Structure 1
Amino acid sequence: MHTQFAPEWLALREDADAAARAEDLLEPLRSHLIPPLVVRDLGCGTGAMGRWLAPRLPGEQRWLLTDRDPALLAQAAGSLPVPAVAILRDLTDLTAADLAGASLVTASALLDLLTADEVDALAAACVAAGCPALLTLTVVGRVELEPADPLDANLTAAFNAHQRRTVTGRRLLGPDAADVAAAAFDRRGAVVHRRSSPWRLGPDRRELTARWLRGWVDAAEEQEPGLAVDAYLHRRLAACEAGELRATIHHEDLLALPG
């Protein structure tokens, strides 16, 4: 399994995800929801989105969890505080018919892994089905590290290029995903709300900071093999261990409501 989707990584980041999500988007969302609710969670992973969101939504709920990893699906379905059904399938070809009857479509850390066509199709399906979409923690390509280092900008650029790479014929959106999604919903008449949802990592989350840092540097080096990253990573990890490193990794949350 790719490290990005490994259960231990998803567990390690869950608290930071919960702290980052833009909870103020739930107020306009709730006004569009009439219980009992059917919530479609796309790319559900271990169910972290459901564990965070279900207690914050009104009334009786049933969650339909969609992922292509059966082990993650099984873990997610057994961990939600509300009834949940596991659906094993690729979510990139969902249609309005698939979403019929859904009260809400939601996803976390998903959009940047999709292509422009896939995001456009998801927006089209949600709008045609008449259901709101709450899409959280999309990377936007901005990282702030304290203290700063001369190599920070080069690594950020290389990482962002890696996020936009082509994989098996699919050109991923990476940090362009939030803008593409907002435009796709907007031109179909949805009312789009956007909020910043940054991870703020420091001494209280050293293990997560170190794991994120290694992954960030590895992806940048894969994209730009000429980068001299060994010394950089060594001093950054040392600062992390000493409690001297702080990182702000910017994301965006998007809520699209029927127009």
Structure 2
Amino acid sequence: MKQKYTKINDTWHNISFVKNIGIENKKFTNNEALLLKLGDKTREKLLKEMNRKTIPQLIIIDGVDGVGKTTIVESLINKFQEQGLKVINNTFKRRRSDNPKFTKPNLKYEWMFRKEVVEQINKRMITYGNEDIILLDKSPYCEYFYQRTKSFDRGYITPYGNFRMEEEIFKYKDIIDNAIVIFLENKQCWSNYYNRETKKDNGGHKSSYETLKEKEYLDMVKMFKEHQVIYENKKKYKAVEIKNDRESWKRIYNQIVRFIKDEY
């Protein structure tokens, strides 16, 4: 069941607690609303309704394919769990094989497939129980970066399809603005990506896009970096360069801790 909320000065309030309604008004489920920047009374009401003592911390690890997100996330999960924290790292995915309409890219259904890919990433964000930390190894904004990569344009996405996709991409913008976002960079990302993609036929990870050539891949890297302005809350955003090693995750963890301390 969704409740009505209004946004006043970048803070969301349950409409039952305000006299004057803000310009932006939406309905949210409890799981969605709890991840927003909330007014005090609204936060207390939600925590009571959900039988929680604290708000879960949403952490998004962003970066191009092959940068090392999965490895970093696995190390972070282990660290948080060692501290007695409950962590959820959902892995919902939409694959081409899920629907015969999506098996081969085509003008009629490609936008629909890409939209459903983003829907699954959004689902990862708002599907949780009593966990302390919600950890994502992919941002819904990735699809925005992909669509701005010229080498990705196979002529299958119409302007209308792009519009429908962006509706889903930005569906939880207010939640993302309130999350901790770490953007990873890695000088070895191309070799990581190439080595991973060549394992497809051996049962390894299979991308929803065709394997890119180096020039195309570097174009994607450029688009990811140039469009990081899409993350508006720079107080909880940090770009961090990592390596293919066992130490980089510690810098990510320390940065997350600093963000949390600064907020509370």
- Shorter-chain TM band: 0.3 to 0.5
Q: TM-score, normalised by structure 1?
A: 0.32
Q: Which structure's CA Rg is the greater one?
A: 2
Between structures 1 and 2, the one with greater strand share: 1
TM-score (norm 2): 0.32
